Structure 1
Amino acid sequence: MLVKTYGSAVYGIHATTITVEVNLGTGINFYLVGLPDSAVKESHKRIVAALRNCKFNNPRHEITVNMAPADIRKEGSAYDLPIALGILAGSAQVNQERLGEYVIMGELSLDGGVQPIKGVLPIAIQAQKEGFKGVILPAANAREAAIVGGLEVYGVETIKEVVEFLNGDRQLERQTIDVEAEFRQSQERYEFDFADVKGQENIKRAMEVSAAGGHNLILIGPPGAGKTMLAKRLPTILPPLTLEEALETTKIHSVAGKLGKHASLVSVRPFRSPHHTISDVALVGGGMFPQPGEISLAHHGVLFLDELPEFKRGVLEVMRQPLEERVVTISRARFSIEYPASFMLIASMNPCPCGFYNHPEKQCVCGPGVVQKYLNKISGPLLDRIDLHLEVTPVPFKELSQERVSERSESIRARVVAARKRQAERYAAYPGIYCNAQMSSQLLQEICVIGNEGKQLLKTAMERLGLSARAYDRILKVSRTIADLDGSEQIRTEHLAEAIQYRSLDRDGWAG
């Protein structure tokens, strides 16, 4: 007897519906075909134990399971539940009438419990596209799937619940959530605030410029100057996620298994801070079974690299292409997967190994040439993709002891949102461009027009401060953002002057 159930396979951040065909014939063997990996092949032992412990009959027949399309590799343990239900339906223990209406996924425990799985949101989206009535999933993943409208979502704890539901002996509670209400409610949940930062007004201003234009930023300063504290507060001044951005970010976290139990929507911009011992695969994604890396988990948010020179040079170099193209392509012999990677890079570093080069009070003990060697750990091409270079100096006691409360993130974010709105209107006719940092060279010439006085200022700056030619485009982009914050249609000389001072590492002789 032939029975069909439906599951789903996730590749990248998209899902493909898998038809699980179960045929019971004469004999006693078990065959599993359709390019399954080891975890799928092991499902037979889990299924047999689960059915026996739940008092179901194990059919004494030859069982052939085909997972179609047979040329797509099936990975993971999430196919246990559809295979088990196919076997039960083939032996007349489950009514087949409703079986084809649902996409069913879940890993089985030996006692018949249904364990959580990864990639539920892409699975639910694909099920809705293909016209399925609903999805039956582990209870821990039900809220995540309920984000998708027009789909019946049922969360189950055991295989017995699914069997009774399909046989009409039990009513399962449909999982529903008000996506927009939950999205609005959780958007303002921030652990940090710029009001906690004493002093550093010039750095706060630079971070406001960075957030307003989507510019990458590097902070250079001695230990304890507040670099990490400032970086952790950057997401609090970024514009709130749109619902579309939140769904895309949630899909990535769902595929990577980072949402956690009973989670639904990622409604605040992600902040990822990997340790400097991270590998290149963990940073950009990939592996034997490809998974999103840290730069994809930071999509629509911030990737913070603390102690930048301590990262392996090869690890940093693999970011160069994603920083420009805002997408990561993982290529293998038989397939290619794309993960989105539109993130803001924020980095911090000490100016030298001892940490006190250019310190106003403490003496640097590094030998001749050591400072330059330390800075050379960061390649020119990577530094070229960082728009703002800022020197962070220690906060004096007078400012630390002040009781005056600093400006809150909410106030700064209001100005950032207004600037982003101007940019959205400016780039409405250019698909894929939403902020000044994404401008191409051609757009730069059209949009960042400066007068003779501004050109003279730039020329003087490049000659006297030793700024490199590569700094030219970056200064224009940043000055356009400063003008947007100022509500100005034209880039004025004061906007250019402020942008020029944010290029510390381009100055000749900065490191001796």
Structure 2
Amino acid sequence: MALGRTLAVALVGLSAHVVEVEAHLAASLPAFTLVGLPDAALAEARDRVRAAVSSSGLAWPNRRITVNLSPATLPKSGSGFDLAVAVATLAGAGIVDPARVRDVVHLGELGLDGRLRPVRGVLPAVAAAVAAGHHRVLVPDANLAEASLVPGADVTGAASLAAVAARYGADVEVPDLPAVTTGAVDPHVVAEPRDLADVLGQDEARHCLEVAAAGGHHLLMVGPPGTGKTMLAARLPGLLPDLDEQGSVEVTSVHSVAGTFDAGRGLVRRPPFEDPHHTATPASVVGGGSGVPRPGAASRAHRGVLFLDEAPEFATSVLQTLRQPLEHGEVVLHRAAGSARYPARFQLVLAANPCPCGRAVGKGLDCTCRSEQRRRYFSRLSGPLLDRVDLQVELHPARAAAQPGDPTTVVAARVAAARGAQAARLHGTPWRTNAEVPGGWLRERLGADRRVVADLDRAVERGTLSLRGVDRVLRVAWTLADLDGRPAPDRSDVGRALLLRTRGHGA
């Protein structure tokens, strides 16, 4: 009887757990058993490991091999355990030095030819290993740059199982195999600059975009085709400040798990931008999949922008699933194999036509839609969803002589100054922007003068504003004051915020 041990990491959402991989080799009929709640991809590791060991020129032990992934009650998924299973088996057979592999974390998928292939989620996995006191980590060469981003990690890369075995004392020739790349594409990197000055006219919409960027507010734009809704939404990330260190690690970890992270660019420093097509399913937007669910567009947009163009064309199920992340800033996905939590504190930007034909401008003389068609079309954006949107603006066709407004750099500077005022006011609290602050906290700082919120009281009495809406109007009012450089909002700020929320109706 022989026993080999090494370490791996199991990811459940963004939560990572260090797993001890034990390989028990008994003198009995040859067999290979993998236990410890593996999913289908992990259960197939026994075939990949056996083939990779043989292809690497190493002797496969003809014994009864039992591999246990401990803790056995924790669900485990994916092919990232392949390398650890192979190393533990070789250590149990005495082919590699058992003492040298015991405290090393091994991450990587094995090809049938023995090559090491990259896996998802290396950044949060290595960070969890270091936090648990295991600083020595071995990963595929393609994941080396990503793993090296974790402070305190002693990371080593390898191209093949033979190279790993030789490192631990095995007498094996290391083949010269072609490198395996991640193939990841960084979706939040814009290929060409998008300047706000490209949008001609639309002064009110540009102002709403600036307010949204300054306070982290959600935005709805309604207007006929060609008025610049998509252009404005695409330029919102350029107005947002760079991510801080914590936000950068969070965003990078999400994209690492999703498989969309390019480690060659380092940590993600700019707010991401996600714009799923209106045919997207709920699983693709909020996350899902078989086994342990993967992050969707809402989580990939964490600390950035989630843009839904032609929002009424999205399935109702997609729009309704956004209510939880809008309220709590995270997505909780429950499946039979386990649940996963992903951060999803994004800015939601919705764009919609005023009617199905899109020509209901002014008096709508060119519109061919019946009144019930218009109501049915826009009612797809439910009241509970719109109640969570802070800013609403109507766009009209720009005049031919419209002049360009301030460029992105100028507006971004004003946004940065407003964010700085919020940071000073919210220092020592768990909130970063006005959009995250509870209404009670903001009302306490307005003082006892009810005249400041008199317009809100009347709107609530008329039924045009909910109590949740009152809090959201106050958040926008504080953002308007921050943009103007004032320490607190006055009654005019509250009135302007109410108009921005109601598109000028019912205020």
Structures share fold, TM-score greater than 0.5: yes
Letter in 1 for 2:287: G
Aligned match of 1:503: 501
Aligned match of 1:6: 7
Evaluate the alpha carbon distance shift between residue 239 and residue 161 of structure 1 in structure 2; reply closer, same or farther with a 3 A threshold.
same
Letter in 2 for 1:438: E
Q: 2:106 aligns with which of 100, 104, 107?
A: 104
**1:306 maps onto 2:306 in alignment:** no
Q: Please give the per-residue CA displacement for 1:39-94, whole angstroms capped at 9, x wherever unaligned.
A: 22212222222222221111222212111111112211111111112222222221
Q: Distance in 1 between matches of 2:457 and 2:61?
A: 83
Q: Once the 2 structures are TM-superposed, how far is the Cα of residue 408 of structure 1 from its aligned partner?
A: 2.2
Q: Distance in 1 between matches of 2:504 and 2:384?
A: 13
**1:397 maps onto 2:372 in alignment:** no
Q: 1:227 aligns with which of 226, 229, 236?
A: 229
| Greater mean deviation of Cα atoms: 228-237 or 321-330 | 321-330
Q: Once the 2 structures are TM-superposed, how far is the Cα of residue 475 of structure 1 from its aligned partner?
A: 2.7
| Greater mean deviation of Cα atoms: 154-163 or 192-201 | 192-201
Aligned match of 1:175: none
Work out whether residues 90 and 96 of structure 2, in 8 Å CA contact, stay in contact via their aligned partners in 1.
yes
Q: Distance in 2 between matches of 1:461 and 1:488?
A: 25
Aligned match of 2:478: 480
Aligned match of 2:180: none
Q: Please give the per-residue CA displacement for 1:174-229, whole angstroms capped at 9, x wherever unaligned.
A: xxxxxxxxxxxx99997322132222222111111111111110000000111001
Q: Once the 2 structures are TM-superposed, how far is the Cα of residue 98 of structure 1 from its aligned partner?
A: 1.8
Q: Percent identity at matched positions?
A: 40
Q: Distance in 2 between matches of 1:163 and 1:357?
A: 70
> Which SS does the other structure have where 1:22 is aligned?
strand
Q: Please give the per-residue CA displacement for 1:314-365, whole angstroms capped at 9, x wherever unaligned.
A: 2211211221111222234574332211111111000000101125897111
Letter in 2 for 1:422: A
Q: Distance in 2 between matches of 1:331 and 1:30?
A: 32
Letter in 2 for 1:11: V
Q: 1:267 aligns with which of 261, 266, 269?
A: 269
Aligned match of 2:257: 255
| Greater mean deviation of Cα atoms: 151-160 or 242-251 | 151-160
Aligned match of 1:443: 441
Q: Distance in 2 between matches of 1:74 and 1:503?
A: 46
Question: How do residues 110-121 of structure 1 correspond to structure 2 at under 5 angstroms?
Answer: 110-121=112-123
**1:24 maps onto 2:25 in alignment:** yes
| Greater mean deviation of Cα atoms: 441-450 or 124-133 | 441-450
> Which SS does the other structure have where 1:32 is aligned?
strand
Q: Once the 2 structures are TM-superposed, how far is the Cα of residue 450 of structure 1 from its aligned partner?
A: 8.6
**1:238 maps onto 2:225 in alignment:** no
Q: Once the 2 structures are TM-superposed, how far is the Cα of residue 449 of structure 1 from its aligned partner?
A: 4.9
Q: Distance in 2 between matches of 1:199 and 1:22?
A: 68
Aligned match of 2:386: 383
Q: Distance in 2 between matches of 1:337 and 1:233?
A: 32
Work out whether residues 102 and 134 of structure 1, in 8 Å CA contact, stay in contact via their aligned partners in 2.
yes
Q: CA RMSD in A?
A: 2.7
Unaligned ranges ≥5, structure 1: 172-185
Q: Distance in 2 between matches of 1:35 and 1:324?
A: 34
Aligned match of 1:93: 95
Alignment size in residue pairs: 489
Q: Once the 2 structures are TM-superposed, how far is the Cα of residue 467 of structure 1 from its aligned partner?
A: 4.2
Q: Distance in 2 between matches of 1:34 and 1:23?
A: 14
Work out whether residues 84 and 107 of structure 2, in 8 Å CA contact, stay in contact via their aligned partners in 1.
yes
Q: Distance in 1 between matches of 2:408 and 2:424?
A: 24
Work out whether residues 75 and 338 of structure 2, in 8 Å CA contact, stay in contact via their aligned partners in 1.
no
Aligned match of 1:72: 74
Work out whether residues 144 and 263 of structure 1, in 8 Å CA contact, stay in contact via their aligned partners in 2.
no
Evaluate the alpha carbon distance shift between residue 440 and residue 382 of structure 1 in structure 2; reply closer, same or farther with a 3 A threshold.
same
Aligned match of 2:206: 204
Q: Once the 2 structures are TM-superposed, how far is the Cα of residue 132 of structure 1 from its aligned partner?
A: 2.0
Letter in 2 for 1:7: A
Letter in 2 for 1:22: A
Q: Once the 2 structures are TM-superposed, how far is the Cα of residue 5 of structure 1 from its aligned partner?
A: 1.3
Letter in 1 for 2:497: A
| Greater mean deviation of Cα atoms: 198-207 or 215-224 | 198-207
Evaluate the alpha carbon distance shift between residue 168 and residue 21 of structure 1 in structure 2; reply closer, same or farther with a 3 A threshold.
closer
Aligned match of 1:180: none
Q: 2:333 aligns with which of 330, 334, 337?
A: 330
Aligned match of 1:148: 150
Aligned match of 2:406: 407
Letter in 1 for 2:431: I
Evaluate the alpha carbon distance shift between residue 303 and residue 83 of structure 1 in structure 2; reply closer, same or farther with a 3 A threshold.
same
Evaluate the alpha carbon distance shift between residue 366 and residue 481 of structure 1 in structure 2; reply closer, same or farther with a 3 A threshold.
same
Aligned match of 1:343: 346
Evaluate the alpha carbon distance shift between residue 127 and residue 453 of structure 1 in structure 2; reply closer, same or farther with a 3 A threshold.
closer
Letter in 1 for 2:444: E
Unaligned ranges ≥5, structure 2: 175-187
> Which SS does the other structure have where 2:478 is aligned?
helix
Aligned match of 1:283: 285
Evaluate the alpha carbon distance shift between residue 87 and residue 152 of structure 1 in structure 2; reply closer, same or farther with a 3 A threshold.
same
Question: How do residues 351-362 of structure 1 correspond to structure 2 at under 5 angstroms?
Answer: 351-359=354-362
Evaluate the alpha carbon distance shift between residue 97 and residue 461 of structure 1 in structure 2; reply closer, same or farther with a 3 A threshold.
closer
Evaluate the alpha carbon distance shift between residue 57 and residue 491 of structure 1 in structure 2; reply closer, same or farther with a 3 A threshold.
same
Work out whether residues 96 and 170 of structure 2, in 8 Å CA contact, stay in contact via their aligned partners in 1.
no
| Greater mean deviation of Cα atoms: 305-314 or 261-270 | 261-270
Q: Distance in 1 between matches of 2:44 and 2:347?
A: 42
Q: 2:49 aligns with which of 47, 50, 74?
A: 47
Q: Distance in 2 between matches of 1:332 and 1:87?
A: 32
| Greater mean deviation of Cα atoms: 95-104 or 237-246 | 95-104
Q: Distance in 1 between matches of 2:454 and 2:85?
A: 73
Q: Please give the per-residue CA displacement for 1:274-320, whole angstroms capped at 9, x wherever unaligned.
A: 11122223222233221122211111111111111111112211211
Q: Distance in 2 between matches of 1:452 and 1:73?
A: 55
Evaluate the alpha carbon distance shift between residue 385 and residue 78 of structure 1 in structure 2; reply closer, same or farther with a 3 A threshold.
same
Letter in 2 for 1:498: R
**1:133 maps onto 2:130 in alignment:** no
Letter in 2 for 1:165: R
Q: Distance in 1 between matches of 2:207 and 2:295?
A: 33
Evaluate the alpha carbon distance shift between residue 309 and residue 138 of structure 1 in structure 2; reply closer, same or farther with a 3 A threshold.
same
Letter in 2 for 1:410: T
Letter in 1 for 2:414: R
Work out whether residues 222 and 393 of structure 2, in 8 Å CA contact, stay in contact via their aligned partners in 1.
yes
**1:423 maps onto 2:422 in alignment:** yes
Aligned match of 1:178: none
Work out whether residues 241 and 416 of structure 2, in 8 Å CA contact, stay in contact via their aligned partners in 1.
yes
Work out whether residues 83 and 107 of structure 2, in 8 Å CA contact, stay in contact via their aligned partners in 1.
yes
Aligned match of 1:468: 465
Output the TM-score relative to the length of structure 1: 0.88
| Greater mean deviation of Cα atoms: 1-10 or 150-159 | 150-159
Q: Distance in 1 between matches of 2:504 and 2:373?
A: 18
Aligned match of 1:57: 59
Output the TM-score relative to the length of structure 2: 0.89
